[in-house]
Each structure stands twice: as C-alpha cells, then as structure tokens.
Chains A and B, each alone.
Chain A
C-alpha cells in the first residue's frame, strides 16, 4: 500500500536514529505478507482451475475427492510433494542443483511488486514499473540453466539450454510490446494532448492503468494496440513455458527437461514458479491491455460512489481487486484452454516464431505506434 512518508533531514546518517528509521520501515512487511498470502491462494485456485477446465475440455470430471468440488486438491498435491524424499544426483553440482529452482521462484515473486490491484493497492509505485518485471524475468533463464547443468543428465541439460534459449528469445517481443504501450499520449485536463516531455510519462503501472480509464470499455489498450496484444499474449505464454511452448518440459523428447532429476519440494518450487509466472503474466495482461482495476462499462460511476467515505472506500477497493482478478481470469482461461487444445511446437519452430515472426511484427507495431502519434500531433 502506498504510505506517504515524510523524509527527515539527518546530519549523520550512521547514527542510532537512522537505525530506528530502518526498524520503522519494517512496517512494510505487513502488505508484503498480505500479497504473498494472496498469491499463494491465487496459485491454489489456478491449479484447481486448470484441473477443472482441462477436465471439462477432455469431457471428464476433475478432482472430486479432496474437499468439496476438489478445491483442496492443490493443497493435497503440495503436501505430497513436501513429504517426498529429496533426491540429489550423486555427481551433479549440488549447490547449483539446489539453488536453481529458488532463483526461478524468486524472480517471479519479485515481479508482483509492481502490479496494481487498485489505485493505492500496489506495493511499489515505481517510476520504472513494468520495466522491473521485464528486467527480473530476464534472470529466470539463469535459474533454469543452473538446474539443467547441475542435474548431471544430458537430457536435463539439453532441456535447460532449450528453456533458456526460449526465454531469451521471447523477451524481446515482450519488451517491445510493453514499450509500445509506454509511448502513450496523455489527454490533459483541458482535453489537450500533452506532449511527451511535458508530463511524467513513465512506465509506472498505475499510470498505464490510469491512462486507460477515460472511456470505459473503449479506453482499453487492447483497441489501441491489437497487434501488440496478440504478440504479448504469445510471448507471455512462451515466457511461462506453457503449451504450445512446452518443449523444455516435454515428456516425450526430454523426459521432463530440466525438471527431470528434481523431486519433493524442489519440484514443487518449479511447479509453483510455473503457476506464479502464469498468474503474473495474466495480471500484466490486464494491467497493460485490459484496463486494470477500472470498472469498464462506460458511464456507470459505480467505483466513484464508493469513495464517499472511509467505509465505502474499502468496499470500492474490494471491487477494484475483484475486477482485476476477473479480468485476469480471462487470460487464465485462454491460456489453460490453449494448453489442452494445441499441440506442442518443436524447438526450431518455436525459435523461428520468436525471432523471425514476432520480433519483426513487434518492431512494426512500435513503428506504427510512433508514426500514428506523429500523425495525430
């Protein structure tokens, strides 16, 4: 949550008063823990969703024994993985083997810092916003390479190399799509177009959502950047290593890719990282393209009615969170349906798609965005 702190002038920054300020800074741990709790529950929900939707697609019943409607299935899976034996390869690099899954999870968890669930419901309203997600998701291939290398298994190693190649290939179209969104024009107070060097046009996620709030449903970035939306969708599916870009975890070719030698809680960390990545990608799709927390039916001022007083303000915030999650569900549904419908792509097809197709298209999208801004000026 954004807490407005006042800065105090200090004469000597190494004095004891500086230490107490750092202790007071620990109050931030409460929102962070809240978000972690929400994310964990979100992952459990996504696992259940995936099972139910895949069951519906394959015309069978999903989980039904663990809890009513199988809701506790994810917890049952997690508990099982927690209690399994933790195998280590005898000749592998044990330290790299152990650290690899952690790096994959850490890099995904750090990306949740900049996702806004409401106007003041963001952990860190950074000026560089979305860029932080792109930067930190660039660290994930390192974790995959470490896991693949430390497993002492040539199929794991090959899977790790392929996973890293796939990740770095699809980062570039992703970054270019995000860049095209950041190049927005802001409509100023008197309905004048604000020139880019007049206001603070930064990559802040809150500002990106605010820029989509003017016309309700028609103010979404989806309509301003349709090509970018498709490219972002495909690239984020590839970054999450979901089908159809599933080759690093292919069961037929590589046993399980870089996850082969993992058991127990380390495997659970990879599983968790995969679903966390999916959740953060879907939240970013809503923030960047689908209008974030704005209640997107135009001319119905429902959220404004709830800002009258403090109590109603809380209800307004709850509605914002609910709207964000409902929009994220759209992308989740699309990606889960895609997983259980489309076949897997070969590695050369995958890399061709990334470098030879999506990269020129996203560059073209950037060119189109900038030239349309020039024309409208």
Chain B
C-alpha cells in the first residue's frame, strides 16, 4: 500500500511540476518528487541512497533551484496559453517513451499491468542477510573505491570543473588589482602624503588648496599661486 501511495504521489507531483503556473510551486513539486522517490528507495531497501537523495537533491540542488527561481523575476505563465500547440511533437515523444518502458519492464513483477500473468506474488525471507549482512554504505564503499574507482575519479573531475566555473564567475582578485579602501582613503591627510619638489611638506594653506582641487576640481580661493610658500 505504501508503494502505491508513494508512487502515485510521485507521479502526480511530477505532473504538477510541468503544469504549475507559478515557477516556485513548480520547484516545490519537484522537491516533492524527490521526497517520494526517497521513500521508494527505502522500500527497495536502499536506505543510504534514500538519505543521500534527501541531502543532495533536496538539501542542496533543490534549494539552489529555489534560490534562482525566487530571486529572478520569472513571469507567471498565462492561464490561457495554448498548450495544444505542443501536442504533436510531445505526443510522439511521450508515446515512444511509454512504448520503451513497456518493452523493457518485466511483466511479471507488475501485477496491475494488463499483460500480467496470473501468478501469486510470493514474499519470502532471505535468511542469509540476517546472519551477516553488509550495510549499504559498506557495499558501496567496497565497490566504488576498488573496482570502479575510475568512475569515482571522473565524477570528482566533473565537480572540479563546476567549481572552477563558479570561481571564474565570481572571482575576487585580491592581488594586482587597484582597489580602494574607503576607510584608509578617508584617513589620509594630504599634508603627510604629498611632498613638494624642493623636499618640503605642504603647508596648511597648500593642503587646503590641494583638497579643494581634489574635491571640487578647482580652487575656490582666488588669487592663489601654487609656487608660493606658506
């Protein structure tokens, strides 16, 4: 019963992802699909993968989807949009997909299909796994890091590429870039920074004129000569 509940929720949520008007609702139904799929994985006995689905898909990927969808001003779809114009191509693709699914799945394990033969479904207990069984995590580790380590390394390279992409987009060049430190600039006193050609510092009047030049572009004091002294 739980299998049918979870599967039907997953299918309905999947449908609502496509049909929801508000894109935020769309992503939230997407999250529901993952929740239900995680439940289905638990039913299959893959508890570790169910938790990984929750952590990675819902906790990271869907949250980032939500960030994008919520922050950008994506227009809400019109109610009377003509969906019928998608029907020819999408109908053909959908029918091909359905045909492939029926072609691949074994008929005896799905009792509700019209092609099911009349056998009773047996549930029996595997005693071997009660004696000494590996957890999901141990099984995964024993295979992934020994026989299939190449796939593991390749997937880490893919993630590295993604990380490099993110760094390139948001790079904050800390060296060799002329940046302004506002606090430091405000603390500068032109009398201590600027030296005149003959080695003397600016006087108070000259510092004032210098500041006028910097701030306003021209001195407001009339009759000024820069070569003069204090």
Chain A interface residue count, CB cutoff 8 Å, equals: 36
- How long is the Cα–Cα vector from A146 to B24 in the complex, in angstroms? 9
CB contacts (< 8 Å) of A149 on chain B: these are: 24, 70
Closest to A201 in B: B138
Closest to B132 in A: A200
**Is the pair A128, B48 in contact by a Cβ cutoff of 8 Å?**
yes
* Given A136-B54, A139-B54, A145 and B138 contact (CB-CB distance below 8 Å): no
Closest to B137 in A: A202
**Is the pair A197, B138 in contact by a Cβ cutoff of 8 Å?**
yes
CB contacts (< 8 Å) of B51 on chain A: these are: 128, 131-132, 134-135
B66 at interface, CB cutoff 8 A? yes
- How long is the Cα–Cα vector from A135 to B48 in the complex, in angstroms? 10
Least CB distance, B121 to chain A, in whole angstroms: 6
Least CB distance, A325 to chain B, in whole angstroms: 27
* In the complex, per-residue mask of B45-74: 1 if CB is within 8 Å of any chain A CB, else 0: 001101110110011101100110011000
- How long is the Cα–Cα vector from A9 to B127 in the complex, in angstroms? 12
* Given A7-B125, A136-B54, A12 and B120 contact (CB-CB distance below 8 Å): yes
**Is the pair A171, B123 in contact by a Cβ cutoff of 8 Å?**
no
B202 at interface, CB cutoff 8 A? no
A11 at interface, CB cutoff 8 A? yes
Least CB distance, A239 to chain B, in whole angstroms: 12
CB contacts (< 8 Å) of A132 on chain B: these are: 51
* Given A135-B51, A171-B59, A145 and B66 contact (CB-CB distance below 8 Å): yes
CB contacts (< 8 Å) of A135 on chain B: these are: 50-52, 54-55, 59
- How long is the Cα–Cα vector from A141 to B65 in the complex, in angstroms? 12
- How long is the Cα–Cα vector from A175 to B54 in the complex, in angstroms? 13
B156 at interface, CB cutoff 8 A? no
Least CB distance, B31 to chain A, in whole angstroms: 6
- How long is the Cα–Cα vector from A226 to B79 in the complex, in angstroms? 58
B124 at interface, CB cutoff 8 A? yes
A203 at interface, CB cutoff 8 A? yes
Chain B interface residue count, CB cutoff 8 Å, equals: 35
CB contacts (< 8 Å) of B137 on chain A: these are: 128, 202-203
CB contacts (< 8 Å) of A96 on chain B: these are: 24, 28
**Is the pair A161, B58 in contact by a Cβ cutoff of 8 Å?**
no
Point out which of A134, A136, A145 has the most chain B C-beta atoms below 10 A from its C-beta. Answer: A145
* In the complex, per-residue mask of A110-129: 1 if CB is within 8 Å of any chain B CB, else 0: 00000000000000001110
B122 at interface, CB cutoff 8 A? yes
Point out which of B1, B48, B51, B59 has the most chain A C-beta atoms below 10 A from its C-beta. Answer: B59
* Given A127-B135, A203-B137, A168 and B59 contact (CB-CB distance below 8 Å): yes
Closest to B22 in A: A93
* Given A141-B63, A142-B63, A202-B135, A161 and B121 contact (CB-CB distance below 8 Å): no
CB contacts (< 8 Å) of B135 on chain A: these are: 127-128, 200, 202
- How long is the Cα–Cα vector from A22 to B5 in the complex, in angstroms? 15
CB contacts (< 8 Å) of A197 on chain B: these are: 138, 142
- How long is the Cα–Cα vector from A7 to B124 in the complex, in angstroms? 10
A104 at interface, CB cutoff 8 A? no
State which of A13, A126, A145, A200 has its C-beta within 8 Å of the C-beta of B63. A145
- How long is the Cα–Cα vector from A202 to B136 in the complex, in angstroms? 9
**Is the pair B138, A138 in contact by a Cβ cutoff of 8 Å?**
no
CB contacts (< 8 Å) of B58 on chain A: these are: 138-139, 142
CB contacts (< 8 Å) of A43 on chain B: these are: none
A164 at interface, CB cutoff 8 A? yes
CB contacts (< 8 Å) of A131 on chain B: these are: 48, 51
- How long is the Cα–Cα vector from A343 to B13 in the complex, in angstroms? 43
**Is the pair A13, B123 in contact by a Cβ cutoff of 8 Å?**
yes
A10 at interface, CB cutoff 8 A? yes
- In chain A, positions 262-281 with a C-beta closer than 8 Å to chain B are none
Closest to B69 in A: A149
Closest to B125 in A: A7
**Is the pair B122, A11 in contact by a Cβ cutoff of 8 Å?**
yes
Closest to B60 in A: A168
A245 at interface, CB cutoff 8 A? no
- In chain A, positions 129-168 with a C-beta closer than 8 Å to chain B are 131-132, 134-136, 138-139, 141-142, 145-146, 149, 157, 161, 164-165, 168
Least CB distance, B102 to chain A, in whole angstroms: 23
Closest to A142 in B: B31
- In chain A, positions 2-60 with a C-beta closer than 8 Å to chain B are 7, 9-13, 22
29 residue pairs bridging A and B, Cβ less than 8 Å apart:
A7-B125, A9-B124, A10-B123, A13-B121, A22-B1, A96-B28, A126-B47, A127-B136, A128-B135, A131-B48, A135-B50, A135-B51, A135-B52, A135-B55, A138-B54, A138-B58, A142-B31, A142-B62, A145-B67, A146-B28, A149-B70, A161-B70, A164-B66, A164-B67, A168-B59, A171-B59, A175-B55, A197-B142, A200-B138
User: Closest 6 CB pairs between A and B?
Assistant: A138-B59, A135-B54, A135-B51, A202-B135, A131-B51, A138-B55
Given pairs A141-B63, A161-B70, A168-B63, 11 additional interface contacts (CB within 8 A):
A9-B123, A12-B121, A93-B22, A131-B48, A139-B54, A139-B59, A145-B66, A157-B70, A168-B60, A171-B55, A202-B137
